[in-house]
């Protein structure tokens, strides 16, 4: 926790300085016009798509938690998790998710960590696959030929993730326990609990449940943001927008996010678009405009989630007292 906090304090000023530099290079009027002149129907439809995305994510959490919690009770929790994930630095939104599971739903930390770990593994594999496919499709637009090594590295990474997932499922239940009450034994015990939770997934649930939902989440997320970018007047084309989204998603898999993602979202987005021949002005402006709209959706839906979660706790508390 302390290490993550120190990294956050270091990364945030750097990212904010990067955001300030990008804003300096951007056409602020273009950003304002993109947001103010976007049709109300596009903004409203985008909000509905964002809510649908979170509903699908809640359904995936339902499976990742092995159906321990009802799907309906996971909806407000997922909305709150998305809110914190968009606002907190260094992937600290994951800690908020674990806290809500433990304090509000009495779900073990090990089960919560396993749900995040397995979901992230699928997301990583799909993002790599997206980068590979879109990179090959757009190789004629890239500055310089697409390196042959990239075509080999990305499939290798996908295979490595699949092998890792298979190994965890096969070996997770067989981790030995260390005797004693020391720090190492306790830490190993917690790791064993997480691995045992991951090892408890059935291959059928992974391949026929979580994988299709993960693909649906990726398609819905990319489709929503392509729709919003086009609706705000940025005519890059869906393939180029999807490539920029895949590259940005890849960069943000690492715990480098600043507060509200400022700078750490716009920089890779702009870099990717400029790398396939788009002008830097529109690339930077579209990054800030799209990010601002997604943050607004996260705040609105997060507020709805907080109200719903609080009311649910009150109702459940009154039911227990009676």
Q: Which two tokens stand for residue 171?
A: 């070996």
Mean of pLDDT values over 41-66:
97
Q: Give per-residue pLDDT as tens, 101-130.
A: 998 888 999 999 999 999 988 898 888 888
Q: Please state the pTM of the whole predicted model.
A: 0.86
List, for residues 134-175, the tens digit of each pLDDT value.
Answer: 877 777 766 543 444 445 555 666 666 666 666 666 655 555
Give the chain's mean pLDDT.
Answer: 83
Mean pLDDT, residues 235-247 taken together: 92
Q: Pick the closest to residue 86 from 134, 53, 61 (CA basis).
A: 53
Flag whether pLDDT at 61 surpasses 80.
yes
Between CA 30 and CA 281 the distance in angstroms is: 9
- State residue 235's pLDDT score: 92
Alpha helices per DSSP H over the chain: 2-25, 28-36, 40-64, 71-87, 93-105, 109-137, 148-171, 183-199, 203-205, 211-231, 238-251, 266-275, 280-321
Classify residue 200 as exposed, middle or buried by CB count within 10 Å of its CB (0-12, 13-18, 19+).
middle
Assign 4 a pLDDT band (cuts: 50, 70, 90).
very low
Q: Is residue 172 within 8 Å of 92, Cβ to Cβ?
A: no
How far, in Å, CA of 259 to CA of 88, rounded?
Answer: 5
Contact 62, 84 (CB under 8 A): no
What mean pLDDT is predicted for residues 288-317?
Answer: 90
């Amino acid at each position: 926790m302390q290490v993550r906090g120190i990294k956050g304090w270091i990364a945030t000023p750097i990212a904010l300085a990067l955001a300030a530099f990008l804003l300096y290079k951007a056409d602020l009027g273009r950003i304002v016009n993109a947001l103010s002149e976007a049709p109300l129907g596009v903004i409203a439809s985008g909000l509905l798509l964002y809510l649908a995305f979170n509903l699908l994510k809640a359904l995936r959490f339902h499976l990742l938690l092995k159906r321990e919690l009802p799907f309906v009770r996971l909806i407000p929790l997922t909305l709150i998790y998305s809110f914190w994930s968009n606002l907190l630095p260094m992937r600290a939104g994951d800690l908020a998710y674990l806290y809500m599971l433990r304090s509000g739903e009495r779900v073990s930390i090990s089960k919560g960590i396993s749900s995040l770990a397995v979901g992230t593994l699928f997301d990583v594999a799909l993002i790599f696959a997206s980068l590979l496919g879109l990179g090959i499709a757009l190789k004629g637009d890239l500055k310089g030929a697409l390196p042959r090594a990239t075509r080999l590295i990305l499939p290798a990474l996908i295979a490595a993730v699949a092998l890792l997932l298979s190994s965890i499922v096969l070996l997770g239940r067989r981790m030995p326990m260390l005797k004693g009450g020391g720090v190492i034994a306790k830490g190993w015990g917690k790791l064993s609990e997480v691995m045992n939770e991951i090892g408890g997934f059935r291959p059928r649930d992974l391949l026929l449940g979580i994988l299709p939902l993960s693909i649906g989440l990726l398609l819905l997320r990319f489709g929503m943001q392509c729709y919003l970018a086009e609706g705000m007047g940025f005519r890059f084309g869906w393939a180029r927008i999807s490539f920029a989204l895949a590259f940005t998603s890849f960069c943000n898999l690492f715990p480098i996010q600043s507060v509200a993602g400022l700078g750490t979202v716009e920089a890779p987005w702009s870099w990717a678009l400029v790398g396939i021949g788009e002008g830097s002005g529109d690339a930077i402006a579209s990054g800030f405009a799209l990010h601002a709209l997604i943050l607004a959706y996260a705040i609105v839906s997060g507020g709805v989630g907080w109200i719903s979660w609080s009311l649910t706790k009150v109702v459940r508390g009154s039911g227990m007292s009676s």
